[in-house]
């Protein structure tokens, strides 16, 4: 009996030590400060102030061949991870890295990232898209040596950010040629973003597209899987000039699947752009 | 379907074997605290993810020694039970079956027993969603998955008679930190923290 008590005590101690080690592994990784430029832009329409960060490639060259740009939604949460992964993956493939543009929060994200108004905290999507189109992209393309065509622009978003990416795919397809849509909230307002895609399909279907779609297998709240599959099947069926793939991360949920899908999405982009 | 049948069969065998493992099912400590050897504790529960999952559960606990507890926990979960039609998305079905076994220790007070267990097992989840919006193509998505399921369980037995109040809380240690050490993965754990209540039965 004493042996068993001792064993249980030891197991408890080992568990605590392991937990401390795991907690220590949760430290946030930060992108190289010397390669990060930061400024803010006030949106003309809403007056909201957006904090913008630009992650430059190592040995960034302000002349010569143009760099592609990745516009990262929820930038305050995702910028460092995306910028570090871009560097790692581009080095892995020996290909030119990209500029990573982080879009911080100006308004509440649920206002900026949702295309239609169903409450006081939704429906600013078109205004936010206009801000990106008329203020942010021109500022980036004026100040940095970047590709100014839609093929050279990527938009990356998760959750409501993924919904916004899907909305842009429909109504702002001239602006971006590449989409990394992670756990997109396509359920929003009775699947309105799927309707936007359908309404604009005739204009968009012959354009060159690259789309990565990611989801977590454990996202089983009765709203994530079917719209995700519907969007994927629609793109497969109606778009001929598209590079498209999807990934469902086994056993992970809405937030847990985000970073694994970012890695795979960027990898897909660097391999197929 | 085969997997489903095998899981059910395994659960039944395991539960039965645990139940019949002991003849002497009850004894008292020096201070007359109830040290039950085998208990069966059926219960109902929820997950803490806004409480939309309904859990039908059972814990079979065997205390071969006063401070050593072995347990088998079975749970059938009707997931997302309250919102089967949302924004043009229909949930055709959505359930999980969990089976875990574990070991731990029990502490006793005057009228209750507190058991802390480390549990490990499997979780089988199956769900299907379909779009039912007239303007869009009808598309369905089906997921069948098996995942590890381990974590800490706290079990409270309140009462000294044959029937007693039973409460359990289970905190999973999967997917974080086992599958993914990134703290974001902890949402998978948080969505599966369970609270269960029921009436326990002392087996004589």
| ipTM of the prediction | 0.86
Structure-model confidence comparison of residues B37 and A88, the more confident one: A88
Q: Which residues contact A225 (CB under 8 A, 6 or more apart)?
A: A215, A219, B127, B129, B141, B143
Mean pLDDT, consecutive 10-residue segments, chain A of 273 residues? Answer: 61 65 65 94 96 96 96 97 98 97 97 97 97 98 98 98 98 98 98 97 97 97 96 97 98 97 98 96
First to last CA, chain B: 37
Structure-model confidence comparison of residues B180 and A104, the more confident one: A104
Query: What's the order of all strands across the beta sheet hosting A36-42?
Result: A36-42, A49-55, A99-103, A69-72, A153-158, A178-182, A209-216, A242-249
> Helices A75-93 and A258-272: crossing angle, nearest 10°?
40
Asked if residue B8 has pLDDT above 90, the reply is no
Please list the residues that pair with A249 across neighbouring strands. A216
pLDDT confidence of residue B1:
43
Cβ-based interface (< 8 Å): residues of A facing B: 1, 4-5, 8, 11, 15, 19, 22, 25-26, 187-191, 194-195, 198, 216-218, 220-223, 225-230, 233-234, 250-256, 258-260
Contact B178, B151 (CB under 8 A): no
**Whether B65 and A1 lie within 8 Å, measured CB to CB:** yes
> CA A229: distance to chain centroid?
18
CATH of domain A40-272: 3.40.50.1820
pLDDT confidence of residue A8:
60
Nearest to A220 among B67, B68, B79 (CB): B79
Smallest CA-to-CA distance from B103 within B90, B112, B116, B94 is with B116
Helix or strand or coil: residue A150?
helix
Q: Give domain limits for chain A.
A: 40-272
- What's the pTM? 0.88
CATH of domain B2-21+36-202: 2.40.160.20
The residue length of chain B stands at 204
């Amino acid at each position: 009996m004493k042996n068993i008590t001792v064993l249980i005590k030891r197991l408890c101690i080992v568990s605590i030590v392991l937990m401390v080690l795991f907690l220590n592994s949760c430290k946030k990784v930060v992108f190289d400060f010397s390669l990060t430029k930061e400024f803010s832009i006030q949106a003309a329409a809403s007056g909201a102030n957006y904090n913008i960060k630009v992650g430059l490639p190592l040995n960034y060259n302000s002349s010569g061949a143009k760099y592609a740009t990745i516009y990262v939604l929820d930038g305050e949460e995702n910028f460092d991870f995306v910028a570090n992964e871009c560097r790692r993956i581009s080095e892995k493939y020996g290909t030119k890295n990209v500029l990573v543009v982080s879009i911080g929060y100006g308004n509440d994200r649920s206002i900026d990232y949702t295309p239609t108004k169903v409450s006081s905290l939704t429906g600013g999507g078109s205004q936010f898209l206009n801000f990106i189109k008329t203020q942010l992209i021109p500022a980036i393309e004026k100040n940095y040596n970047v590709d100014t065509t839609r093929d050279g622009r990527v938009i990356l978003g998760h959750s409501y950010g993924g919904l916004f990416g899907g909305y842009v795919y429909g109504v702002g397809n001239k602006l971006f040629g590449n989409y990394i849509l992670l756990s997109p909230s396509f359920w929003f307002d009775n699947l309105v973003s799927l309707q936007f895609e359908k309404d604009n399909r005739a204009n968009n279907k012959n354009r060159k597209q690259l789309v990565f779609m990611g989801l977590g297998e454990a996202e089983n709240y009765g709203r994530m899987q079917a719209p995700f599959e519907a969007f994927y099947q629609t793109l497969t069926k109606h778009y001929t000039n598209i590079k498209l793939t999807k990934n469902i991360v086994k056993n992970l949920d809405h937030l847990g699947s985000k970073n694994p899908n970012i890695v795979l999405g960027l990898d897909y982009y660097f391999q197929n752009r | 379907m085969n997997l489903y049948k095998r899981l059910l069969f395994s659960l039944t065998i395991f539960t039965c074997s645990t139940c019949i493992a002991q003849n002497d099912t009850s004894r008292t400590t020096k201070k007359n605290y109830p040290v039950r050897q085998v208990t069966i504790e059926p219960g109902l529960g929820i997950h803490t993810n806004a409480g939309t999952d309904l859990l039908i559960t059972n814990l079979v606990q065997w205390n071969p020694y006063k401070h050593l507890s072995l347990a088998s926990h079975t749970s059938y979960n009707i997931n997302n039970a309250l919102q089967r039609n949302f924004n043009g998305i229909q949930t055709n079905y959505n359930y999980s079956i969990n089976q875990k076994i574990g070991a731990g220790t029990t502490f006793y007070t005057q009228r209750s027993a507190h058991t802390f267990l480390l549990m490990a097992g499997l979780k089988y989840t199956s769900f299907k969603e379909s779009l039912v919006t007239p303007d869009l193509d009808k598309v369905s998505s089906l997921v069948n998955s098996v995942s590890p399921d381990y974590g800490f369980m706290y079990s409270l037995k309140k009462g000294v008679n044959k029937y007693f109040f039973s409460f359990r809380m289970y905190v999973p240690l999967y997917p974080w930190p086992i599958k993914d050490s990134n703290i974001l993965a902890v949402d998978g754990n948080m969505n599966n923290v369970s609270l269960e209540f029921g009436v326990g039965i002392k087996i004589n």
